[in-house]
C-alpha cells in the first residue's frame, strides 16, 4: 500500500510541477511575447502545428497562421498588452488563464482594399480567457475567448 501511495503522490507532484511550468510560460507568453509582439519567440510555448480556435469559431492550424491572426491588432492599437492573469489554474495537460487585453485605438485600422477606419483614441480593457492543451512542454491547442461586440463598443465602432 505504501508503494502505491508513493507512486500516486509522485504522479500528483509531477502533474503539479508541469502545470506550474505551463502557467509560468503562459505569463511570459502574454506579458512579454504577446505584449511586445515578439512573434519569433512564440515557438517557446506553441507547437509548430498548434490548432487555435478564436472567439468567432474560426481556427488556424499552425503557428505561422496564428501569428498572422495576432498581428493586425498591433497595427491600430500598437500599445496592445496583457499585464495580469488574475485567475490561472490547470489540471492534467490543460491550463486556463483569464486576463485583460488593454490598448488604445490610436492608429488607422485597415479594413481591406486600401481603406482604413480613423482612430478614435479610445482605450479598451477587454476581458479574455485562454484554455491551453499541452504536450511535451508546448501548447498543441489553444481556445481563445473574448467578446468582440464589447471590444467594438469600447473602441467606438459599435453601440
- At residue 1, the pLDDT reads 81
Q: Give dist(CA 115, CA 103) in Å, integer.
A: 22
pLDDT > 90? residue 149? yes
pLDDT > 90? residue 63? yes
Which cell numbers in the block locate residue 112? 481591406
Beta bridge partners of residue 116, listed in sequence order: 110
When pLDDT is averaged across residues 63-91 and rounded to a whole number, the result is: 97
- Chain segment 104-147, per-residue pLDDT in tens: 999 999 999 999 999 999 999 999 999 999 999 999 999 999 99
pLDDT > 90: what percent of the chain? 90
Q: pLDDT grade, residue 8 (50/70/90)? A: confident
Looking at every residue in the chain, the average pLDDT score rounds to: 95
Three-point CA angle 108, 74, 65, nearest 5°:
120
Asked if 14 and 21 touch (Cβ cutoff 8 Å), the reply is no
Q: Give dist(CA 37, CA 31) in Å, integer.
A: 10
The answer to pTM > 0.85 is yes
User: Mind listing the domains of the chain with CATH numbers?
Assistant: 2-154 (3.10.450.50)
- At residue 50, the pLDDT reads 98
- At residue 100, the pLDDT reads 97
- At residue 2, the pLDDT reads 83
The contacts of residue 122 (CB under 8 Å, 6+ apart) are: 104, 105, 154, 155, 156
Q: Which of 6-15, 20-29, 35-44 has the lowest mean pLDDT?
A: 6-15
Which cell numbers in the block locate residue 106? 490610436
Amino acid at each position: 500500500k505504501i508503494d502505491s501511495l508513493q507512486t500516486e503522490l509522485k504522479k500528483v507532484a509531477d502533474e503539479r510541477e508541469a502545470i506550474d511550468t505551463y502557467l509560468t510560460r503562459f505569463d511570459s507568453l502574454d506579458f512579454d511575447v504577446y505584449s511586445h509582439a515578439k512573434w519569433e519567440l512564440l515557438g517557446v510555448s506553441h507547437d509548430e502545428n498548434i490548432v487555435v480556435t478564436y472567439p468567432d469559431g474560426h481556427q488556424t492550424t499552425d503557428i505561422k497562421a496564428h501569428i498572422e491572426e495576432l498581428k493586425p491588432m498591433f497595427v491600430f492599437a500598437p500599445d496592445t498588452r496583457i499585464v495580469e492573469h488574475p485567475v490561472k489554474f490547470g489540471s492534467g495537460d490543460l491550463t486556463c488563464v483569464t486576463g485583460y487585453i488593454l490598448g488604445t485605438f490610436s492608429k488607422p485600422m485597415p479594413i481591406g482594399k486600401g481603406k482604413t477606419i480613423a482612430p478614435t483614441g479610445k482605450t479598451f480593457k477587454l476581458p479574455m480567457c485562454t484554455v491551453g492543451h499541452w504536450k511535451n512542454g508546448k501548447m498543441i491547442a489553444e481556445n481563445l475567448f473574448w467578446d468582440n461586440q464589447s471590444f467594438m463598443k469600447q473602441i467606438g465602432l459599435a453601440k
